[in-house]
């Protein structure tokens, strides 16, 4: 993997976006900011017709600062990435798009592990139930 040509740290950009949106979202909660920007993306793509007051102010602030809401949303999604992915991004060893793909894979894998553990637990419980019902049938005979 080589160094990529972009010359900015995405996490510094996220901080600057949060500073820009500070009048609309003073607590700078990542989840709230991401939701606000997501609504701006949907509005720009004409998937929704109206924005509420805070959303429209956020949309105007993003456009005023020449920021594309979809790009900002992509950056904000990387905020919850695992430490090793963050390190690759900070060192420019991976592009933002590749990081986004890795993050999705990581998220899917972490969800899969939880699902597999749940399935194993269910099999264990069902196995015990089958065994107990099998024993009770033998006791009746």
Residue 5 lies inside a defined structural domain of this protein = no
The number of domains in the chain is 1
121 is a domain residue: yes
Q: For the segment 92-107, what is each residue's pLDDT rounded down to a tens digit?
A: 888 888 999 998 888 8
- For residue 112, being part of any structural domain is answered with yes
pLDDT for the residue 66 = 96
Residue 116 is assigned to a structural domain of this protein: yes
How far is Cα 81 from Cα 83, in angstroms, rounded to an integer? 7
Please give the Cα distance from 84 to 91 (Å, whole number): 11
Angle ∠(48,50,53) on CA atoms, nearest 5: 135
Q: Which residue range forms the structural domain that includes residue 117?
A: 10-140
In terms of C-beta density within 10 A (0-12 exposed, 13-18 middle, 19 or more buried), how is residue 17 classed? buried
In angstroms, rounded to a whole number, what is the distance separating the alpha carbons of residues 18 and 79? 12
pTM recorded for the entire structure: 0.71
Q: What pLDDT digit, counting tens, does each position of 62-73 carry?
A: 999 999 999 999
């Amino acid at each position: 993997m080589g160094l990529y040509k972009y010359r900015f740290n995405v996490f510094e950009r996220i901080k600057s976006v949060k500073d820009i949106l500070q009048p609309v979202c003073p607590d700078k909660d990542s989840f709230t900011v991401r939701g606000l920007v997501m609504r701006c993306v949907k509005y720009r793509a004409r998937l929704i017709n109206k924005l509420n007051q805070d959303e429209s102010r956020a949309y105007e602030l993003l456009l005023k600062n020449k920021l594309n809401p979809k790009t900002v949303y992509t950056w904000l999604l990387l905020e919850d990435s695992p430490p090793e992915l963050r390190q690759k991004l900070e060192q420019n060893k991976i592009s933002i798009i590749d990081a986004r793909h890795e993050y999705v894979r990581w998220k899917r894998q972490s969800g899969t592990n939880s699902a597999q553990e749940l399935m194993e637990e269910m099999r264990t419980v069902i196995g015990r139930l089958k065994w107990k019902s099998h024993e009770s049938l033998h006791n009746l005979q």
